[in-house]
Every structure is written in structure tokens, then in C-alpha cells.
Structure 1
Amino acid sequence: MASEDWVPPTVDTSVPSMARTYDFMLGGGHNFAVDRAVGDQISRAMPGLPQAARVNRTFLGRVVRFMTDQGIRQFLDIGSGIPTVSNVHEVAQEIDPACRVVYVDRDPVAVAHSELMLTGNSRAAIIQADMRDPEAILAHPDTRRLLDFGQPVGLLMLLMLHWIPDDSDPLALMARYRDALPDGSYLAITHVTGDHQGDNLTEATEAIKRSRSPDQVTLRTHAQITGLFTGFDLVEPGLVGCGEWRPRGPADISDEPEMNMLVYAGVGVKQPRNDQE
């Protein structure tokens, strides 16, 4: 068994984390037996789930390239997770080394490994925070150091908002982030949906409930997820299955059609509004 000396002292390795389970789905090594057990259970319910995780990851690269093509040079990635290949700063800074990135995650393992990855990179930082506290994230010294809110920002919330229950009022949360962003900013969201799934997804979400994880899925419909883009204009092709958002080739799409539709993906731009409208 590999040494776990890297585990932050505050981590309870008997309780699964969905950030670490996602890392397991992507073939990463920063997860524990309890995370792998949950991952195995939900994969048995939905055998194509690792492909859905891969499709989401390739979307990240496409959307960062899209935003840089629109002139975005600063990014706020909330719910960034455990680092793997093609992270936001790697994609963006390969295009323009001047790009700046702030990562945010509440999982201490994700934060610890992000700190190691970012050592020596003065244009990127990781903050440990909960997305339900926008003011703390936006006012954090690293955010203020790296991001200029007088210029457009690329805000990413990938596989993040389905962990926010309705009683936390995600629409109000999104409004607080939207109001902090200048015109010309972009928002990217990926979100699990039950619109195209059946009993297998129910079985997978039940496995998460039984796991005692503090992270629990709230499935939302196409209309509900579209509502999270209030104040942004969706760019083409709109809110679609993750594998259908501007794929560049076979590597961006699962060969299991339902896994391309397990997660909706969309990108919106904040346009100037006429106060008289």
C-alpha cells in the first residue's frame, strides 16, 4: 500500500470525498480506499461513468481555449478539485504565459496538491473556501492580487453546482458572483442532470447517499440549469450535453451516448445591460 504521508492532518480518511472519488474516476492516485469503494459502487450502477468524467475534463480544456480566444486572460475556477492533466493554468498559460488563475476548493487534499503543483508559479494560486461564501472568495488576498475585476474574468464552475442543494439558494449565489464580474466576462458550468437517465442514475445517487459523504447530488433539469446563467447570454450551441459542446474530435466524446448527456455544459457571456429595459 502506498504511503499516505501526504494526507493533511485534518482529513478524515474514513469519510469519502467526491473530489477524491472524481480523482479516482480519472485514474488519479490522490484518493483513499473509502473513495474508491464509493467510486466502484456508482460505477457498477453506471458503468460508463468514468467516460463521463473524462468528457467533462476534456470540456475544461476546450472552454479555457475558447475563453482565451475571446481575450480572457484571468480565470476563477471554483470547485477546481484535485489537480490532474490539463489544468486551467496549464492550458491558459500555454496560450499566453501572462494568464492568471485562482483556484478554489474546500477539500483539503485538493488544496494541498494544488499548492504543490503551483509552487513557483506566481500567476496562479489556490484558495481553500466554500463556494457558498462568495464574498470571502472574491475578497481573498490571492484573488485580489491576481484578478483585476475591472477587466473580464472567466468563471468556471465545472461539476460544482449539483453539490449545492436548493436550500442554499444557488440562484442567489450565482447572482452574487455575476454582480462581481465586469461586462465581457464568461461563465462556464457543467452540471449533472437526470433528464436523459433512468434507474441507473438513481442507483448511483443512492450509493452516494449511503456513503456518508457530505457531498450529495442535486439533479436539475435543463430549464433549472439554464436559470443558473441568469444575466449571461448563452453562446452557441447553448446548454447541451457535455460531449456536444463544440467537440474537436473523438477524444472529446464518449462512445456511450448516454454518458455524453449525463452532464449538461454551457458557456455564457455577461453583456452590458440597458437599465431602461
Structure 2
Amino acid sequence: MMKPEPRLIDGFEYYVASLSVQLGCRQQKAERATISKPERISAVLEAIVSTFGPWTAHNIALTEQIITRPDGPTQQWRVDFFDSIIRAAGRSPKSLLDLACLEGLFAIEFARRGLTTVGIDARDAHLVKAEFARSTLELTNCRFIRGDVRSLPIEIGNFDVVLAAGILYHLDFPDCVKFLRDIAVVSNDLLIIDSYFAYEDVHTSYVPLSDLKYFHFEGRAYRGREIVEYADPKSTGGNPWGSIDSTRSVWLTEEDVISALSDRGCRLIERQFQSPSSKRAYPDRPTLVFKRTIRDAPDAEEILTRRSLTAAEAFG
């Protein structure tokens, strides 16, 4: 089976809808056969699952009868939750960046609602599934990029909404601090962070927590808790929802995240839980909403320069 081949466009690796190349002869046979479009979609979906495994998280409706994860719980309520946050802020955004997009749910669903969206992820399996859903739905206002959110290329541009749903708490230190700095730069208006945070009075979570510790970066102290991403270094990257290459992550305190983004011109305007039951079950996972108030924040020029160099190194 051939590995998916990205096409370079303006320095990015865009996954295009050439599924006959990506999926080999099974897709070619499906295209040649005189079968209906739903049957063809089902055949390609089956081929993707056979090659890359089943969808792990995102249940996307491709037709009225075909969904990507028929046996899994729907995630549409999360789309509605983030949409309600945007509307409550009184915004009518035109663009959205979905960081660590997994199988593409948020980029796809907000594109269906009229926004121009970009999803970025580092795993080929996620991107093939996301691109298959996008191409099946014929969404021309949605793109997926293969990349590392810890090193956003400068060419990615700026977005009215930057969505970091379930990624910050998978980053090690100081990557988590650099990540906050970088996403502040690409945000034109709203920055939404759905994440676990460290708290003095929360000692248990869905994973074991270390004691609250101090971490230092560029002359500043941050508090947080260490989390084991992979107990066995040989299994690093094996969890499709976990870190791609680190055995450890660091959950920063909510206070330090707010302070770090405030220093970059982003003001906290809302703090919500996704539901009352979510607040009871996961009191350490609120959703924080920031508004970009200062375009030329401190260190912005240096950040842009560093990101540009990173992109030049990544794409030659």
C-alpha cells in the first residue's frame, strides 16, 4: 500500500483528494465499478479503515446514512458548544484554525457553517481521514495541513478564531509556553483553549498528577504538574490522541496560562465548562476564551521571525 503523498502548495503539505493514489487498487476498482455514490463512499471508507484503522474520535456525517464512526458517540455537541462561545462573544468570524485537528471534525463542521478553515495535524492517519471527509463533502473552503503545532509555519497566516481543543495538555515544557506565544500571534480576534490545567486544590484527574512544581523558561517561573504520556519510551507516539514524541507533558496552572497570554495581548473574556456533568467529572478542564486586544504585542516581531525560520527549515 502506498503512503499518502502530500502536494506542496505555497510551502505547505496539503492532503489532496487523490484517494486512488492514496488507497491503491481498492479505490480504483470502486471508481471503475458502476455503483452509486453512497456505495462508492462506503467502499473508500472501508479501504481507509482497513489501511489506517477506524476513526478514533470524530463522528462526521458524510451522507444521511453514512457516518465515519457509526458505533461511537457523536461529537456534534462539542461543535455546537464552541459555536455558542463564538456567538456569545458577539462575533461573526470568517476564518478558523483548528490546531491538532485529529480527524478534522471542527475544521469540517465550521466550514459547513461558512467559515474558511484550516486544520493542522502531525499524523498521516488523521489527515487521510480528514481529507476523505472534506473531499466527500466537497468543501472547498476547508484545508488540512501536515505539521507540528509546536512549530507553526509563518505562511499559515492569521485567523479570526484559533481553536486549541485538547492539545495544550499534551505538550511538554517549555513547548507549552512557546505554543501559547505562537497561537497568540496567529489570532486576529478569538482564541479558544479547551484543556486540562493544574490547580493547587485538584490532586486527582483522569491520569495521575505529580506535585505542583516550578518550571523556568526565559527568566520566568511557571507552575504546573508533570503528566506521564508514555510509561514505556518505546511506545512514544503510539496513542493517536497523545503526544507524538514526548514521554511527558506539563499541565500549566490556569493562572499562568492566562498571564502568559495576557503578556501577548490576549485578554480572558469567558470561562466555561462544556456541560454541568463535565464540570462535575472534570473540574480541571474548563474552556478559556481570549480576545486579542493588542495586535503588536511584546515580542511579536521576534516570534514571527523565529516562526519564519522554522518554516524555512521545515520546507527547505
TM bracket (short chain): 0.5 to 0.7
Match of 1:201 among 183, 198, 206: 206
Match of 1:175 among 181, 188, 211: 181
Provide the aligned length of Structure 1 versus Structure 2: 217
Is structure 2 residue 166 aligned with structure 1 residue 130?
A: no
> Residue deviations 1:200-240, cap 9 Å, x none?
53449978533734235422211122134232443433xx3
More deviation in 206-215 or 111-120?
Answer: 206-215
Over 3 Å counting, the alpha-carbon distance change for 1:115 and 1:186 in structure 2 is same
Distance across 2 between alignment mates of 1:275 and 1:191: 24
Q: Indicate if the aligned counterparts of 1:7 and 1:109 stay in contact, CA closer than 8 A.
A: no
Distance across 1 between alignment mates of 2:183 and 2:85: 19
Is structure 2 residue 273 aligned with structure 1 residue 242?
A: yes
Distance across 2 between alignment mates of 1:274 and 1:220: 25
- Give the aligned partner of residue 72 of structure 1: 93
- Give the aligned partner of residue 196 of structure 2: 192
Over 3 Å counting, the alpha-carbon distance change for 1:257 and 1:190 in structure 2 is closer
Aligned-pair identity (%): 11
Deviation at 1:88, TM superposition (A): 4.0
Match of 2:122 among 97, 106, 109: 106
Question: Which structure has the higher relative contact order (CA within 8 Å, separation 6+)?
Answer: 1
Over 3 Å counting, the alpha-carbon distance change for 1:200 and 1:154 in structure 2 is closer
Over 3 Å counting, the alpha-carbon distance change for 1:92 and 1:266 in structure 2 is farther
| SS of aligned partner of 2:150 | coil
| SS of aligned partner of 2:143 | strand
Distance across 2 between alignment mates of 1:128 and 1:235: 30
What value does the CA root-mean-square deviation take over the aligned residues? 4.2
TM-score w.r.t. the length of structure 1 is 0.61
Q: Indicate if the aligned counterparts of 1:241 and 1:263 stay in contact, CA closer than 8 A.
A: no
Is structure 2 residue 292 aligned with structure 1 residue 264?
A: no
Higher strand share: 2
Over 3 Å counting, the alpha-carbon distance change for 1:162 and 1:107 in structure 2 is same
| SS of aligned partner of 1:153 | strand
Larger Rg computed on CA atoms:
2
> Residue deviations 1:110-131, cap 9 Å, x none?
2111101111211111111110
Distance across 2 between alignment mates of 1:55 and 1:203: 28
> Residue deviations 1:173-225, cap 9 Å, x none?
332343344xx522111111242643453449978533734235422211122
Over 3 Å counting, the alpha-carbon distance change for 1:171 and 1:256 in structure 2 is closer
The unaligned stretches of length 5 or more in structure 1 are 14-19, 37-49, 244-252
Over 3 Å counting, the alpha-carbon distance change for 1:88 and 1:218 in structure 2 is same
Amino acid across the alignment from 2:256: Q
- Give the aligned partner of residue 47 of structure 2: 5
Q: Indicate if the aligned counterparts of 1:81 and 1:105 stay in contact, CA closer than 8 A.
A: yes
Deviation at 1:65, TM superposition (A): 3.9
TM-score w.r.t. the length of structure 2 is 0.54
Deviation at 1:72, TM superposition (A): 1.5
Distance across 1 between alignment mates of 2:50 and 2:207: 33
| SS of aligned partner of 2:290 | strand
Q: Indicate if the aligned counterparts of 1:157 and 1:188 stay in contact, CA closer than 8 A.
A: yes
> Residue deviations 1:243-268, cap 9 Å, x none?
3xxxxxxxxx1436432523121111
Q: Indicate if the aligned counterparts of 1:72 and 1:153 stay in contact, CA closer than 8 A.
A: yes
- Give the aligned partner of residue 170 of structure 2: 163
- Give the aligned partner of residue 118 of structure 1: 134
Distance across 2 between alignment mates of 1:236 and 1:4: 44
| SS of aligned partner of 2:252 | coil
